[in-house]
Amino acid sequence: MLPLGPAGSMVSRHGVSSSRASTAPVLLKLRHAGRVTETQHAPPLQLRSLRPGLRARIVVYFSLATLIGVVILSVVTFAATRNYLLDKATSSAKSQAIANAQLVRSLVGTARSDAGEVVTNLRTETGGYAVLHLGTEDLFYAQAPLRFTQSNLPASFVSNAIRGVSGVQRVDFNDRPFEAVAVAIPAIDATYFEVFPINDVSDTLGTIRSTLIAAVIGITIVAGLIGYLLSGNVLLPLRRVTAAAKTIAEGALGTRLEDERDPDLQRLVTSFNGMADAVQERIEREERFASDVSHELRSPITSLGAAVDVLQGRADELSDRNRQALEIIVAQVRRFDRTVLDLLELSRLDARAGQDQLEELHLTSLVERIAARHGYEGVLVVSDLGGDDLVLVDKRRIERVLVNLLDNARDHAGGASEILLSTNDDHDLLLIVDDNGPGIGVSERLRIFERFARGTASRNSVGSGLGLAIVSEHASAIGGRAYVDTSPSGGARFVVTIPRLDAEA
């Protein structure tokens, strides 16, 4: 394998060629025949933006909106449920505390000395406790003095209740929630306290809280999936526009979008198709103009060439000054003639005029014959293909590519040093021409195959600036591409990839 420069400069035919058939995606409708124009070089790598794509943002916004809505709904639901359960527990506790307070008033009112026994025998809620305060004696009687007394209640709550202010307050005891109820019994100068456990309420609220959190997470995930699926339909028209724009950019100018039922999308379709019509019309008008001008110039240039030939035949009769002027005229007429011929060829390439005449040929022997026929038999042809150089191509295109590269090297770079034949990693054949010039700067390699483009080293040289553009067009037509690199000797290395085609192609 011959050194061919960085691997990144080579691409397979499948990613470049669209000259043989231009087929629009399924979502598109081809209304007019369009030409195909290939890019002349691989586009430079660009860093991807860290900003997420439109579909990702739609999913995020959809999920975020759902999350906010579900969280608000869950908070409201939890707050309403909590208030309901606590209010219900408070109401039940107050009812039971008042009933026990009435019982205490009856029993203690008849036997005040039995207050302790009365409190001990009261029926309270399971896990609850009762405390009785007698105002006259200023004594507290606890139902379970070893576990719960008035000291386990908030001091302010107890003092307010003793002063006759009945009330309810939530308290914690042994890390468990309780509802404390104070009932004043002025008939016997006493205050009754009872605490009720509300573990069930707390456990129920905890279960509801966990359920709501799980529901919020689950609904948000489901909303994200729904958003992802829906965004596909929402972005489908944009993907159609993208596919159509890409196809048009590749040269299929007849590509158009299909009509949409949605009136808003239909306006987009109408605008896009109108823009594409205008672009196609302008490009085709410019192509027709270039082709017509080239054809119109062909006849006078032919006449000028004939006249110049006559003058050259009688150059000996002219003075030295007139002879120098004649040489300038001859050079410029030939240059003009070559430019017009190149323009005509580019016009035919743009119009895809004619069909390829594919033949199965050995590339090495074909290249040697072409070089010898055009006066480049002195250029060394080196091949590492061996017998593996059989390729199905139109030999006229190969001839135009090779001759233009050799002429370019002769006119601008001191001649070609070698013609190399090799393969790349995609098993495509490579036609390489090294020259003796100073090479092509990296900044100029991106545009060297453009029409009328000239490198720095060739600005004062002869030529129309169309030779390499023709090379690139022919390379695209055979399914390959052309690019320039640096040869080992320091000059320019022009590379044309030639794909291997099946004999049935």
First to last CA, the chain: 27
**Predicted pLDDT at 423:** 86
* Stronger pLDDT, 448 or 455, i.e. the higher one: 448
Distance separating alpha carbons of residues 459 and 304, to the nearest angstrom: 26
Distance separating alpha carbons of residues 82 and 89, to the nearest angstrom: 10
Q: Which helix (H) or strand (E) holds 240?
A: helix 199-249
Q: Where in the chain is the domain with CATH 1.10.287.130?
A: 257-349
pLDDT in tens, 27-74: 344 333 333 333 334 444 444 456 677 788 888 888 999 999 999 999
Phi, psi of 188 (to 5 degrees): -120, 15
pLDDT at 217 over 90: yes
Most confident range, picked from 35-39, 283-287, 469-473: 469-473
Please give the average per-residue pLDDT across 259-266, as a whole number: 83
* Stronger pLDDT, 328 or 67, i.e. the higher one: 67
* Stronger pLDDT, 316 or 195, i.e. the higher one: 195
Please give the average per-residue pLDDT across 287-311, as a whole number: 74
Q: Where in the chain is the domain with CATH 3.30.450.20?
A: 52-249
pLDDT in tens, 147-196: 899 999 999 999 999 988 888 888 988 888 898 999 999 989 999 999 99
Cβ of 473: how many Cβ atoms within 10 Å?
Answer: 25
Distance separating alpha carbons of residues 63 and 19, to the nearest angstrom: 45
Please give the average per-residue pLDDT across 201-213, as a whole number: 89
The superfamily (CATH) of domain 356-498 is: Histidine kinase-like ATPase, C-terminal domain (3.30.565.10)
Please give the average per-residue pLDDT across 86-97, as a whole number: 86
pLDDT at 198 over 60: yes
Distance separating alpha carbons of residues 104 and 30, to the nearest angstrom: 97
Query: 298 pLDDT band (50/70/90 cuts)?
Result: low
Q: Which CATH architecture has domain 257-349?
A: Orthogonal Bundle (1.10)
pLDDT at 130 over 90: yes
Burial of 338 (C-beta count, 10 Å sphere; 0-12/13-18/19+): middle
Work out the percent of the chain whose per-residue pLDDT is above 70. Answer: 82
Please provide the average confidence, as pLDDT, over all residues in the chain: 79
Lowest mean pLDDT among 137-151, 267-281, 346-360, 431-445: 346-360
Distance separating alpha carbons of residues 438 and 112, to the nearest angstrom: 122
**Can you tell me whether residue 415 is helix, strand or coil?**
coil
Q: Where in the chain is the domain with CATH 3.30.565.10?
A: 356-498
Q: Which residues of 265-275 are buried (b: 16+ CB within 10 A; e: fewer)?
A: beebbeebbee
Please give the average per-residue pLDDT across 390-403, as a whole number: 86
User: Regarding the domain delimited by 52-249, which CATH topology (the fold level of the hierarchy) does it fall under?
Assistant: Beta-Lactamase (3.30.450)
**Residue whose structure tokens are 């009856």:** 106
